[in-house]
Structure 1
Amino acid sequence: MGFGRRKVVNAQDELEQSVSRLRELLANADLDNIPEVLQLRKRLDEGLSEVQDSAIDVVHEAKRHARHAARATNEYVHDEPWQIVGGALAAGVVLGFLLGRR
């Protein structure tokens, strides 16, 4: 599992835990007769549904961008292999020079 996906999963877990705690508070039977609490429960459920849909859309969009970037990188490396080799060589020389100065 990648780092970005872990962050999304952690954020989703935290959100679900917070909502669960809020639902527990609102689930008190003594509050069933209060119209504002009923309305708050309904708004909470609707908001959760919207947040989940948005989170799913964000994950799908991120995957799409990652696939596009991977495809573009792969095409560039195959089209311009010597530029990649030259860039890697230059980076290696600079890194070797910096490490050699210590």
Structure 2
Amino acid sequence: MSDQALNSEKEKLLADVRSVLSNTEELLANAGEEGGTKAQELRGKLSANLKLAKERLLDAEKLAAAKAKAAAKATDHYVHENPWKSIGIAAAVAFLLGLLVSRR
């Protein structure tokens, strides 16, 4: 998956979570105003919205973990296939970081 597609998925997920939380806050505000059976209905909807939010967050966590594992495997494979190139890249990055830190 490309970075652009990943960012798009992340933005979509965040929008979904914001929407669920907004709806939940609205229901909670309404639940405080109403009594009796109406309050019970609102509490039921609130509970369902919170459950949905938790499920979506767990899905996002699983997706992020899967992508991190895939990236780690790809990096591990590349380093094993190109050890000297990897050492050279690491040395160059360390050198550049050393230059940047020493200037401050």
Q: Give the TM-score band, short-chain normalised.
A: 0.5 to 0.7
Task: Give the aligned partner of residue 90 of structure 1.
Answer: 92
What residue ranges of structure 2 are gaps of 5+ in the alignment?
A: 1-20
What's the CA shift string for 1:20-49, capped at 9, x where partnerless? xx5xxx58xx9225x2x2221121011011
Residue number in structure 1 paired with 2:45: 43
TM-score relative to the length of structure 1: 0.59
Distance in 1 between residues matched to 2:55 and 2:70, nearest whole Å = 23
| Structure 1 stretches lacking a partner, 5+ long | 1-14
Q: Residue 31 of structure 1 aligns to a residue in which SS?
A: coil
The structure 2 residue matched to 1:78, chosen from 77, 80, 87, is 80
Q: How many residues align?
A: 80
- Percent sequence identity is 34
Please report the RMSD computed on the Cα atoms of aligned residues, expressed in angstroms: 3.2
Which residue pairs with 1:9 in the alignment?
A: none
Q: Which has the higher contact order (CA 8 A, sep 6+)?
A: 2
